[in-house]
Each structure stands twice: as C-alpha cells, then as structure tokens.
Amino acid sequence: MFKNCNKLNIKKITCKLTLLIFYLNKVKNILSHYTYKRCLCLVSVGYINEQYIYIKNKKKYSKEFGVCVIHYNIRKNYLNSKLSVLFYYINKISIINCTLLQLPLPIHLSFKNLSNIINCLKDIDKMTNKTHFEACTPLACAYLIYKESRCTKGKKTAFFGKSINVIKPLIKIFTTEKSIITHFHSYSKNSMCKLECIDYLFVAIGHPEVINDKYLLGTKNIIDIGINYYHNRSICGDIRYKQVRSNAKRITPVPKGIGILTVSLLFYNVLIT
C-alpha cells in the first residue's frame, strides 16, 4: 500500500486477507450445510462522489465472497426522522446480518442521532458505541503500520484532521502503543511548520491536495486517508502526491491505497458476525 519502496506490500497484505476471508466463508458454509448466507445492508444518502468509489468496491468484494448486498440510496433531502424509520425496519429484518451507513453524510443530517438507531449487533464499522467491532479505516491504518514496522513505541506520530470516526480512534490506538502524539486540525496555529521530522503522518482532512511538499520535510511515512474528486473529476487524496512522494520515504496513493485494505477488513467483519 505504501508506494515507492514497498509497492508490492499492499498486494501481499490484501491477498492474505482475501485468503483468510475465503476460507472463513468456506468453513461457515460447511458448518451451516451450505444454507447460511451473509447479508449486508448498505445505506447511502444522496449522490456524493466520494461515496461512489467505496460503494463500488463493496459490491465488487461481495460478489467475490458470496455476500448479498442490499443497497438503499436515499434522496438527499431526507430528514433524520425518515431515515430513523428506515433503520427501524432494517433492524427488524432477520435476514440482514450487517448494517452500514455510508459516510460522508449531507450537512443537514446528524451522524450522532442516526448512529444511535443502528442495531449494535449488526454494526460492523463502529457506528455505535456498543458494538465489539472497531472502525475499519483506523484499523486498516494501524494494521498497515504494524505490518511495515511492527513497533511504534517512541515514534513521532502526527495526525491531521478532526474526524471522529477516523482520527480519534487512531489517536487512541497509537497512544496505547506509546507513540509520541501530535494532533493538528483547522484551528491549530502554525501547524504546517511543525510537520517536519515526523515518523508517521496520518492525513484525513477531506479537501483535495491541501498539503504539499514544502511542509513535509523529513516526514518518513505518510498515510493519506482522504479521498476527493477534483475539478476535472479525477480522484485524489488530501496530499499532493506527485510533489510529496520525492520527499517521503513511503506514501500511500489515492486511489488504490488505504481504501482497499479498509474494504477488506470490512468484509472480514461481515463474515465473522
């Protein structure tokens, strides 16, 4: 997943996960006499370009592993109350094993209110606080770092962004691993000048190509979590990849970066529910 030095590592990691999911699915089918089926209900609101890539990948993976995907694409002008009714019925349907609310949501919708309605037993991406699963995106980032370097104790780790679903869980994970944590967001003063000599930088801002090469001198490993559509409808991350890759030791590209591993972990959760 890291480009440049370790281009093939993402293929190895994804292949291992793919094999694990395949054999797990096979074992479940044997145990259930080939009658047990997994069903994922995917709910998206409106048509947001960033959502389309993830939905497309989820449908692709579902065909590979024999998971049924029910996709509800709700109109953008739907209110919280109407979505609450939808989730109420989804929770009642026994054939649906897993539920996922696709992010990002339109501005007028409250993620906090909607996440409380999702059945915690069907939640596979930490939408609710009661589920025993971890959020897939931060878990994918931590998994990648663990596979690459094993130990992050004492390493300078910086996080850029204020996402509750991605950055906050990542900070918790790396604090537990005794990393030296620095957190930047839109209200941080002179944050860019402090991004030098960082061992690991995680970026999840949600704006296309915000960070360029002059701010990242000496940064060794960059994980670009953002995914955006630029003006010419090309897909890009939060970092100017072409400028930054010459300065960084390793960097994850967008697309075909951390998103692939996220979807793999998501389907792993689907099959162990």
78 and 155: one domain?
no
The DSSP output letter for 239 is B
Q: Which structural domain range is residue 180 located in?
A: 136-257
pLDDT, mean of residues 236-249? 82
pLDDT of 7 reads 43
Greater model confidence, 258 or 246:
258
pLDDT, mean of residues 103-121? 80
pLDDT, mean of residues 2-15? 52
Number of domains forming the structure of the chain: 2
Exposed, middle or buried by CB within 10 Å (0-12, 13-18, 19+), for 153? exposed
pLDDT of 30 reads 45
149 and 183: one domain?
yes
141 and 208: one domain?
yes
Q: Is residue 36 part of a domain?
A: yes
149 and 251: one domain?
yes
pLDDT of 10 reads 53
250 and 143: one domain?
yes
pLDDT, mean of residues 153-181? 88
Q: Is residue 271 part of a domain?
A: no
- pLDDT bin (cut points 50, 70, 90) of residue 19 is low
72 and 121: one domain?
yes
Exposed, middle or buried by CB within 10 Å (0-12, 13-18, 19+), for 180? middle
Q: Is residue 20 part of a domain?
A: no
152 and 247: one domain?
yes
pLDDT in tens, 115-130: 778 888 899 888 888 8
Q: Give the helix ranges, DSSP H, for the chain.
A: 9-31, 49-65, 80-92, 111-115, 136-149, 167-176, 241-244, 258-272
- pLDDT bin (cut points 50, 70, 90) of residue 96 is confident
pLDDT in tens, 184-239: 877 776 655 556 678 888 998 888 888 777 767 677 788 999 888 776 667 888 88
208 and 224 Cβ atoms separated by less than 8 Å: no
* Three-state SS letters, 26-55: HHHHHHCCCCCCCEEEEEEECCCHHHHHHH
CA-based nearest residue to 231, from 249, 211, 263, 209: 209
pTM of the model: 0.78
51 and 161: one domain?
no
Q: Copy the structure tokens of residue 132.
A: 């025993």
Q: Is residue 267 part of a domain?
A: no
pLDDT of 232 reads 61
87 and 109 Cβ atoms separated by less than 8 Å: no
Please identify, among 125, 158, 187, the residue that sits at the C-terminal boundary of a domain. 125
- pLDDT bin (cut points 50, 70, 90) of residue 35 is very low
Residue type, 171: I
Q: What is the Cα–Cα distance from 182 to 171, expressed in whole angstroms?
A: 9
